[in-house]
Amino acid sequence: MTNYDYDLVTIGAGSGGVRATRIAALAGARAAVVEEYRTGGTCVIRGCVPKKLMVYASRFSEDFADSAGFGWHVPHATFDWATLIANKDREIARLEGLYKKNLASAGATLFEDRAVMRDPHTVHLLKSDKTITAKHVLIATGGRAFVPEDVEGGDLAITSNEAFHLPHLPKSVMVVGGGYIAIEFAGIFKGLGSRTLLVHHGEEILRGFDHEIRERMRHELQKRGIDVHLKSVVASIRAEAGRKRVRLKDGTEHVVDEVMFAVGRRPNTGALGLEHCGVELTERRAVKVDAYSRSSQPHIYAVGDVTDRVNLTPVAIREGHAFADTVFNGRPTAVDHADIPTAVFGTPEIGVVGLSEEQARAQVGQVDIYKTAFRPMRATMSGRDTLIFMKLVVDAVSERVLGCHVMGEAAAEMIQCVAIAVKMKATKRDFDATVALHPSAAEELVLLKTKS
């Protein structure tokens, strides 16, 4: 039998990789993880966590404005970007430390290095020029942001990576894209005081979401002063007196301080040496895996965004844990990817679980729709022009709630709880049998009576 240095070498210490490595180590495996940047991965270091902290920061401007209707007088509020970034960085460093500590206390080894596969069982650590061998390898390298190659002057643009570390809050910013990151950062910049343009190539933002959520969200962004340009594509960017002149393909030009692209993320499989290992990739260059996250090379697995399944942190964590249970705990576990709740932390917020109306009609045919749009109680006093929107998509035959869509304050918090009911296959009657909690916005979810 071959003796390997490790039972498991994981490449990438993000959410999925760290969970898998820790569980494997706790099961008694000799486990190591290799990370070239910072421990914690995209979510902790330059994604979900810092983003949410910045979303909190951005929403104070609305709070200050809304407080007037409740009798508060807030003298001209000022915002200091440097304080926000320093405090955010301190929190991220604390979390990174916890991740390292948890790996160490599980008995796993962390190599802060760049890993390249030399052959199916050999990993070369570039910085230290060291080679380690592994019985199993887990690819957990995530995804990476990019600026499309066909944009002339694209090197003048930033992605979310740089947005977390800008030296100043830009006075004006163009955010390109219409997905999670674009909507979230447009809300952050606008809330913090930047003039914000959202430039999206599609006919509507948030493809894949329920059509009413897409349209209503765009209206809400516009009400908040975000300048939304649909069916618009960036042709070129030129530097101009410290600013950027952006020409769109329709010929219009805009001068802004920053241009941020948020047009999806690509699976991080480049220069990993996977070609030496018989690991098959998909057309989008993601690692092709089965339900147990096993690649075409039986001892090499992959979890998280590098597999391009459902690109969300909690899913990567589930997949990493399931992999470790399958390989090191003798419990073969496939991850169930149905009914995963998700939120877009824009302002307002969107929370979704299950199917959109369009998906439900395509999948089950007969569907009942229950929905409401109403002014939140807080807005009756603040005077803010905004609506909360809620929609239940119900199977007309079984009465099962197939989808729940909320746009408005605390939508993410609501959807996490509704997701339990949806996962348990609750019916519309179960929702109706639940007594409302008054006064709340969420109570409307159990008070929807009329089919639309």
Give the catalytic positions in this structure.
Answer: 438
Judged by CB under 6 A, the residue of 107, 154, 193, 202 near ligand NDP is: 202
Q: Smallest distance, Å, CB 177 to ligand NDP?
A: 4
Helices 48-67, 81-106: crossing angle, 10 deg rounding: 140
Query: Using the rule CB under 6 A, is 207 a contact of ligand NDP?
Result: yes
Judged by CB under 6 A, the residue of 312, 322, 415, 422 near ligand NDP is: 312
User: Pairing mode, if any, of strands 122-125 and 115-119?
Assistant: antiparallel
Report the residue number, 12 or 326, with the smaller CB distance to ligand NDP: 12
Give yes or no for a contact between 419 and 341, defined as CB atoms under 8 angstroms apart: yes
End-to-end CA distance of the chain: 66
Helix, strand, or coil here: 84? helix
Query: How far is 137 from 344, CA to CA, in rounded Å?
Result: 33
Query: Using the rule CB under 6 A, is 153 a contact of ligand NDP?
Result: no
Query: Using the rule CB under 6 A, is 264 a contact of ligand NDP?
Result: yes
Q: Residue with CB nearest ligand NDP? A: 179
User: Which residue in the block uniquely carries the two structure tokens 């349209």?
Assistant: 215
Within 10 Å of residue 177's Cβ, how many Cβ atoms?
23
Amino acid at residue number 430: D
Query: Quick one: which segment of 104-112, 122-130, 131-139, 263-271 binds ligand NDP (CB under 6 A)?
Result: 263-271
Judged by CB under 6 A, the residue of 45, 263, 272, 352 near ligand NDP is: 263
Binding mask 155-194 for ligand NDP (x = CB under 6 A): ---------------------xxxxxxx-x----------
Q: Which of residues 326-385 bind ligand NDP (CB under 6 A)?
A: 342-345
User: Token pair for residue 374?
Assistant: 């109403």
Query: How far is 99 from 452, CA to CA, in rounded Å?
Result: 48
Report the residue number, 124 or 214, with the smaller CB distance to ligand NDP: 214
Query: How far is 301 from 298, CA to CA, in rounded Å?
Result: 8
Radius of gyration of the chain (CA): 24
Binding mask 265-284 for ligand NDP (x = CB under 6 A): x-------------------
Query: Using the rule CB under 6 A, is 41 a contact of ligand NDP?
Result: no
What are the residues binding ligand NDP (CB under 6 A)? 148, 176-182, 184, 200-202, 207, 262-265, 311-312, 342-345
